[in-house]
Structure 1
Amino acid sequence: MTRVVLLGASPGPDTSPTGLRLAALPGNPTVAERLRSQLTSLDPRLATIESGDVAAALRALADVAETATENLFIIPENSVVHDELIYQITKAKRGALALVAKEPRPEVTEEEQEAQEDAVPIDEAEPEIGLGRLEGLPIRSRVGKSRVVSVGTARHAVTRPNAILLGPLHVSARNAPVLAQTCRELAAMAGTFGEDDDLVQLIVFGLVRNGVSVGIRGRRDLFYRRVTTQEEVNEAGAEMAGMDEDRARLNNAVKGADGFFTTYFVSTYSRFIARWAARRGLTPNQVTLISITLGVAAAACFATGDRPWMVLGGVLIYFAFVFDCVDGQVARYARKFGVLGAWLDATFDRFKEYVVFAGLAVGWVVSGNSDDIWILALAAIGLQSVRHLLDFSFGISNRRKAPSPLPTLALDAPDDRDLRQALTRRKVERSQGLRGVLKMWTKAGKFRAVHWARKMIVFPIGERFAAIAITAALFDARITFITLVIWGSVAAAYTLTGRLMRSLV
């Protein structure tokens, strides 16, 4: 469950006439009616805060945060937004996440580019009060690749602002106490803010200065806009109606961090199978059972030891993996999650592998070969079991690890100079020793070849099933097991080395 907080009209000269209607959408709803209907499934007891009085609004938000036991989703009441964007933001695993829009980079000539190259670097730039505007909001935030670096106000300067905070803000339950404290501190100094300072901007300003890592995401292929006039409402409704939200939802159903084989040989079409299955009422668990059935059928084919059946087994194990991907995609697309489904998926992934190993070994023996193959089969099973155990235990330990604290800055500091200097020192410290090696290896991932090599070397499930299918169909069980043991050993050594290094920093 998520605690939803609706912010009324933002402070400033404009009001937010949320009674205006979205004529381009079915039912001709008002902006407020539509947003409330979208959020009711998240929180049937929406908290609404009138934000005309900044101090009162901040104190009211602090009261909500103090009593919240769930994650908080804060959004202005004059928002026109896709359902899928709300879903993606509220399902984020970061401690805090803000929707941002970066200032567009103007096209420049060669002479202007040369002049920019001679400009003062950001580390030497002077903080400024952002006077530019984007979508009606002041550009007073500095964002990096993954998080908000600094935020300013009409009285607090920020170094080279480059973005606006659009409105939606997600804060995890563990950061709710910090949010409450921050809002009370901001309320006490409300008189120092400007008339055009947006309430969400002020909240993130306080969170960042109090050391909370606020992640960022853009709208990408989804829609969000704040509206204040009927003309803006009409434009927003027409633009949103012209966007394919279902396609974005389908694309989001595919994991973004999959391996090479899964990305290029499965996910390119499995998402469409997932949509077809979801629209016909198939549940993720039913798709999992299809995957298990295909895996067992593949093992039976391998157990014959005959070449045509080995080829068919390779095809079946491939499609067993395809449906193993589809079940998760159906769950994310249809938003049907359950403890049973997660348990089935994790448990029967191993079951399919091991029953296939048994089928390959049986097929080798019945073909008149030595039963020494069982040594290789047991080695492959043991190696994969140890790897799975290490993955599971490291994942739990890593989740328990407290995030590295960020530098803080007094809320009344007139600019972010000290904060940026502290971040620079932190960056230097984290670039030394083992941290430096890990950081360098992480940066190497920007090269496509290195990125995919790192994905493949860990021998994920997609690569394992591909190796089984190809070697079993073209060669024999002995080659399959040798491939699994050698590649799996390299993957185990690589993974264990990386985890030991990360555990020591």
Structure 2
Amino acid sequence: MTRVVLLGASPGPDISPTGLRLAALPGNPTVSERLHGQLTSMDPRYAKVPTGDVAAALRAVADVAESATESLFIIPENSVVHDELIYQITKSKRGALALVAKEPRIRVTEDNGQDVGLEVPESEHEEEGPGDRIPIDEAEPEIGYNRLEGLPVRVRIGKSRIVSVGTANHAVTRPNGVVLGPLHISARNAPVLAQTCRELAAMADRFGDDDDLVQLIVFGLVRNGVSVGIRGRRDLFYRRITTQEEANEAAAEMAGMDEDRSRLKNAVKGADGFFTTFFVSTYSRYIARWAARRGLTPNQVTLISISLGVAAAACFATGDRPWMVAGGVLIYFAFVFDCVDGQLARYARKFGVLGAWLDATFDRFKEYVVFAGLAIGYVVSGHGEEIWVLALAAIALQSVRHLLDFSFGAARRRKPKAPLPSIPLDAPDDRELRQALSLRREERKQGVRGVLKMWTKAWQVPSHPLGA
């Protein structure tokens, strides 16, 4: 269960989404009706927080966070969003995740027509031109005055998380994006959220009229050492609506987008091995969708994978070349269906303890049966029985490997992550934070930790990035 916090109109024009209709969508719902219907399926007792008074709104969010025993999903009431995007954000395993958008980059050319690359548009308050930007490590913190989708650009977005946030009176180094609205906070970070919101409420007079409530919350979380991950819209829709014209545009754009395609794409792991990414997942997702539409369950697909593995072992055991080739084809498709069961579970949102046990246990069973089948085939074809030594050695090696993988994974899950640096909320800029982050980054590159991190990422290929 996720506790939903529904924010009223953010600071700015006081326009209620109640009467704004999404005529291009089925049922002609209002913005408010549609969002309430989406959220009620998640949390029938969602909390609604008026935002006319920023300090009062922050204290109300703090009250909800203090009593929460589950994760929290914060979203402005005037949001038009795909169901799939809500699902992907709320099912994140990160301690905190925000939907973000980066400033669009523009192609910059010199007077002589030479292309000098892509740059983010400069703030009108900066003196240097796009071609004169100094490295970010040498850049001075600034107050962001550019606007993106109606929000002040006061967020520094990194590769996988928000690095720093500013306000109308707190400078940030090289801002390049905004927090669009939806924000997911895990249950373990709820106490930090409550404390942060109370601290922010006490200094509400230091914020500007154009500071957005959600960005203020993220400003406090980042400065208090919480790692806030990022999620871009990619091929899904999100926008805050304030006028009927915007509602009409949003409904038309959303109606023209294929939400199922994104859902299918998200069924594939975000990062996987090279072979799986390029020789299996390119088409296995479509098998998963086909299976879902015909009512197959992930456990049934797992049983298909097991059957194919056993059939491959039987082919190998014959010792005949044609059957050995058939066994190779069968073991490949056994692996394909091993991927399909997980993709089907994510696409159809059918998860269970039994399925996880079947997948983990019988993956090993298939490997051992195939090793045995290869050994039997070797002996049947007229060779010596010494092959069993190699077969048993391979089984032992695989057993040790999987034991180490599971133990390492369990240890990583149990071990709390190293906290990020923090700075006082009233610090006028983020220099101290960026210096601490730079030092932390250099320390993590050294020693055994750096080698393990590099080894973990070496064999993974990202299927779809988390960024904007």
For normalisation by structure 2, the TM-score amounts to 0.91
Which of 314, 339, 361 pairs up with 2:375? Answer: 361
Contact kept? 1:13, 1:195, Cα under 8 Å: no
Equivalent position of 1:448 in the other structure:
none
Q: Distance in 2 between matches of 1:166 and 1:18?
A: 20
Equivalent position of 1:293 in the other structure:
307
Equivalent position of 1:284 in the other structure:
298
Equivalent position of 1:172 in the other structure:
186
Equivalent position of 1:307 in the other structure:
321
Contact kept? 1:295, 1:316, Cα under 8 Å: yes
Equivalent position of 2:95 in the other structure:
95
How far did 1:430 drift?
3.2
Q: Distance in 2 between matches of 1:237 and 1:355?
A: 54
Q: Distance in 1 between matches of 2:315 and 2:386?
A: 21
Q: How does 1:487-502 map to 2 (within 5 A)?
A: none
Q: Distance in 2 between matches of 1:26 and 1:131?
A: 38
Q: Distance in 1 between matches of 2:205 and 2:15?
A: 20
Q: Distance in 1 between matches of 2:116 and 2:319?
A: 66
User: Which segment is superposed worse, 114-123 or 75-84?
Assistant: 114-123
Contact kept? 1:69, 1:173, Cα under 8 Å: yes
Contact kept? 2:80, 2:239, Cα under 8 Å: yes
Q: Distance in 2 between matches of 1:438 and 1:321?
A: 27
How far did 1:343 drift?
0.7
1:211 match: secondary structure = coil
Q: Alpha carbons of 1:67 and 1:427: their partners in 2 closer, same or farther (altered >3 Å)?
A: same
Equivalent position of 1:501 in the other structure:
none
Q: Distance in 2 between matches of 1:280 and 1:399?
A: 36
Structure that is richer in strand per residue: 2
Q: Alpha carbons of 1:327 and 1:436: their partners in 2 closer, same or farther (altered >3 Å)?
A: closer
How far did 1:136 drift?
0.7
Deviation by residue 1:329-357 (Cα, 9 ceiling, x = unmatched): 11111111111111111111011111111
Equivalent position of 1:377 in the other structure:
391
Q: Distance in 1 between matches of 2:181 and 2:312?
A: 51
Q: Distance in 1 between matches of 2:14 and 2:105?
A: 27
Which of 218, 221, 226 pairs up with 1:204? Answer: 218
How far did 1:300 drift?
1.4
Matched, 1:155 2:165: no
Equivalent position of 1:487 in the other structure:
none
Contact kept? 1:78, 1:228, Cα under 8 Å: yes
Q: Distance in 1 between matches of 2:12 and 2:170?
A: 17
1:63 match: secondary structure = helix
Structure that is richer in helix per residue: 1
How far did 1:100 drift?
0.5
How many residue pairs align between the two structures?
447
Q: Distance in 2 between matches of 1:195 and 1:46?
A: 27
2:164 match: secondary structure = strand
How far did 1:116 drift?
4.2
User: Which segment is superposed worse, 104-113 or 360-369?
Assistant: 104-113
Percent identity between matched residues is 82
Q: How does 1:60-459 map to 2 (within 5 A)?
A: 60-110=60-110, 113=116, 116=130, 118-434=132-448, 441=454, 454-455=459-460
Q: Which runs of 5+ in 2 are unaligned?
A: 118-128, 462-468
How far did 1:302 drift?
1.4
Q: Alpha carbons of 1:304 and 1:431: their partners in 2 closer, same or farther (altered >3 Å)?
A: closer
Contact kept? 1:18, 1:228, Cα under 8 Å: no
Equivalent position of 1:55 in the other structure:
55
How far did 1:438 drift?
6.0
Contact kept? 2:4, 2:73, Cα under 8 Å: yes
Deviation by residue 1:405-426 (Cα, 9 ceiling, x = unmatched): 2111111112222222222232
Equivalent position of 2:123 in the other structure:
none
Runs (4+) off by over 6 Å: none
Q: Alpha carbons of 1:228 and 1:374: their partners in 2 closer, same or farther (altered >3 Å)?
A: same
Deviation by residue 1:142-188 (Cα, 9 ceiling, x = unmatched): 11111111111112111221101100001111111100000111111
Q: Distance in 2 between matches of 1:308 and 1:432?
A: 52
User: Which segment is superposed worse, 318-327 or 355-364?
Assistant: 355-364
How far did 1:23 drift?
0.5
Residue 231 of structure 1 aligns to which amino acid in structure 2?
E
Contact kept? 2:108, 2:130, Cα under 8 Å: no
Per chain length, whose mean CA-contact separation is higher, i.e. which structure has more relative contact order (CA < 8 Å, sep 6+)?
A: 2
For normalisation by structure 1, the TM-score amounts to 0.85
Q: Distance in 2 between matches of 1:244 and 1:278?
A: 17
Q: Distance in 2 between matches of 1:22 and 1:116?
A: 40
Deviation by residue 1:84-125 (Cα, 9 ceiling, x = unmatched): 111111111111111110011122113584964543332232
Equivalent position of 1:11 in the other structure:
11
2:108 match: secondary structure = coil
Q: Distance in 2 between matches of 1:198 and 1:291?
A: 50
